[in-house]
Structure 1
Amino acid sequence: MTAPVAPRGNWFTRGGWWFFVHVLSLGVLTVVPYAHAATVTRRRAHAVVAAAVGAATVLWIVLVSVAPRDVTGRTTGAPNAIAALIFFVLLVGGLVGLIVLRTQVYGGTRAPSRPDGSDPAVSRALAARRRRTEARRLVTDDPLLARELRIGRPDLPRDYDDGGLVDLNTAPAPAIADLCGLDPAQAGRIVQARQAAGRFASVEDVFSWTELPVDTWDRIRDRGVTL
């Protein structure tokens, strides 16, 4: 099955215009959105549906043209009844079909994004990373201020947002486990090691004093500080 098209543009360009074509033409030009969807996805099923909608539209036009008319000029008879049924199917069924088709082609409604097009989750993660970089600079340049701001101590009340750092020298094991993505036993090893060492001079000391899996090192480097 072909994956939906990557969600680019706004609602109108991502299939929204289909509904305008359908409603404004009263279903007569519904074949246009269906043909467009088949062109975008290149799926056989969509091409078959577009061909069926086109055939139904042509049949409707033919039946309206050949239907007998009464003295007032209104179409009557069996061709008119069949044409009316086809018109209803194109108008109502075509609309329902477009709703389903748009989901298949464009993946439905996407989550709102920032004006610059970036994903909100990515933007939040990058902003937190910048805050961690700034907080680390304070730890290095002004450790007294860093302690006053309680950088790396998410377990204590504070106003400063350090982006999610944890002080490996003073924070309790649950905070270390939460921020560094460790299990309680691994965080407990860090606390035991710092008690034995007195304090860690750097984050790298943690790996010398403990036997932590290598795949945890980057997470600890990303979130850990030593005050």
Structure 2
Amino acid sequence: MPSTPPSPHPSPPEIPTRGPGAATAGWALLPLLVPGAGAPLAFGIAAGRRPSARTVAPLIAYTAAFLGFFALILPFDVGETPGWALWSAFLVMLASTFGAAIHSFAIRRYVWAPVRAAEPAPPPKPVPAGDWVAPALDQAARLREDARRLADGDPSLAKRSGVGRPDQPRHLDDGGLVDLNHAPADVLRDLPGFNAALAEQVRERVERIGPFQSLDEVIVEIGVAPGFERHLREYAVLIP
């Protein structure tokens, strides 16, 4: 395994703190240039450019204030508007005009700072073969050992679970075991040291005499080359 864990992706760059251009002052003055409607317009632009709580929440508040102004004035006939409604409408208009203009200048640097595109993720580093092959081989060896114990302790359950039968649907992972007594010839020929002729010889012997009782019996009767015995013992299993 690598001596140190891979470094996490770098955090996105912070918004630059240098001041925006003078042309953006026109945006900040929208609440004064268009009293009432200028504040929702200015903060709508801000929310579209840099959506966040700092822009969306004021957009909602100033839009509500703009609508609230009309809700205070329109229900009454001209000249019959009560004083409380007039004063409330005046305060709402004051807040959505001068207050919004001050607010716009306060966040102008944030809204109009350059928007940087997300940096692409660095390409994955090649993983040395030893970092994943060895653990995978160890895991397969443990699975074979577990499946072999199952075959020794409960052959019937091992047979129903598909141990040593890659030609059948698997109910458990046996790590690549092959049952010499039951697997078909096209599976047996892929075993270390086997070929099509040896595979057919194993099948004929089992059908004629019965299942093998030990791997030594297989090696002697079938004539497995000595150089492949260790590999055969690793992957072969004998289920009665």
Larger radius of gyration, structure 1 or 2? 2
Which TM bucket (shorter chain)?
0.3 to 0.5
**Which structure dedicates a bigger proportion of its chain to helix?**
1
- Which structure has more relative contact order (CA 8 Å, sep 6+)? It is 2
Per the normalisation by structure 1, the TM-score is: 0.48
